[in-house]
Chains A and B, each alone.
Chain A
Amino acid sequence: QSVLTQPPSVSGAPGQRVTISCTGSSSNIGAGYDVHWYQQLPGTAPTLLIYGNNNRPSGVPDRFSGSKSGTSASLAITGLQAEDEADYYCQSYDRSLSGYVFGTGTKVTVL
């Protein structure tokens, strides 16, 4: 029962740019809460990819970028590489639920 909706899958050829949307509501993203993004490689724990809407932790390539507008957020991957094939999740806070919420997840496939 995720309250943040993502497309189930996106794909692209190496070198291309792909974007993943994260659609929320006025009680989470639209209320001004930050959006964070996680990458989960197959068989591993999630890792923080983007925090505070558009900030990269140390070590994350600048090919990854985030943005937020209204009740939605997006993650962009430019110069897609084979090692980017993974599941990606957005996350925020919801004031109606008084708790944290994750997106439905998006599988990125490199063609």
Chain B
Amino acid sequence: QMTLKESGPTLVKPTQTLTLTCTFSGFSLSTSGVGVGWIRQPPGKALEWLALIYWDGDKRYSPSLKNRLTITKDTSKNQVVLTMTNLDPVDTATYYCAHRPDASGFHYWGQGTLVTVSS
């Protein structure tokens, strides 16, 4: 059974850096074709893809947020970490991590974690 769970702060001040951790089980990020991505959803709004890291270490970022995002993986710990710098209130959202087994979409999602950016 594949599970993912996001963890990190629930409240962040403007201009601060956000670090979110996705801890997963049931699959390995060293398996060919596998990726773990981050997606966010502001309250009442649509899903927005942020970043993805592949089994071979390749990384992809949303062009609109590329300068603020860093995604890394620790295969031995079954974790993927997303860092976002210079937070703004518009970054308030539920942040999800999701498992991409191959080119067939995001098959498994974490429950999400709500991050509020406010002073």
Q: Which residue of A38, A89, A98 contacts B60 across the interface (Cβ within 8 Å)? A: A98
Q: Taking the complex as formed, is A76 at the interface, i.e. its CB lies under 8 A from any CB of chain B? A: no
In the bound complex, residues from chain B placing their C-beta under 8 Å from that of A1 are 64
Closest chain B residue, CB of each to CB of A106: B46
Select from chain B the residue with minimum beta-carbon distance to A91. Answer: B105
Within 8 A of A (CB), among B43-102: 46-49, 52, 60-64, 96
Other-chain residue from A52, A57, A91, A97 in contact with B63 (beta carbon distance below 8 A): A97
Interface of B is mostly: loop
Nearest Cβ on chain B to A38's Cβ, whole angstroms: 8
A45 at the interface (CB under 8 A from B): yes
**B46 to chain A: closest CB distance in Å?**
4
A45-B109, A100-B60 known; A52 and B104 CB under 8 Å? yes
Please tell me if the beta carbons of A45 and B96 are within 8 angstroms of each other in the complex: yes
Distance in angstroms between the alpha carbons of A34 and B102 in the assembled complex: 12
Contact yes or no, B110 A45, CB < 8 A: yes
Residues of A within 8 A of B47 (CB): 38, 40, 46, 89, 91, 102, 105
Instruction: Report the minimum CB–CB distance from A102 to chain B (whole Å).
Output: 4
Q: Give the distance in Å from the alpha carbon of A102 to the alpha carbon of B96 in the complex.
A: 14
Interface residue? B27 (CB, 8 A): no
Contact of B107 with A51 in the complex, beta carbons under 8 Å: yes
A84 and B107 alpha carbons, distance in the complex (Å):
19
The 3 A-B pairs at the shortest CB distance, nearest first, are namely A36-B105, A100-B49, A51-B104
Beyond contacts A40-B47, A91-B49: 11 other A-B pairs, Cβ-Cβ < 8 A, are A2-B48, A34-B104, A34-B105, A38-B47, A45-B96, A48-B105, A51-B107, A89-B46, A98-B60, A99-B60, A100-B60
Chain B residues near A (Cβ < 8 Å): 37, 39, 46-49, 52, 60-64, 96, 103-112
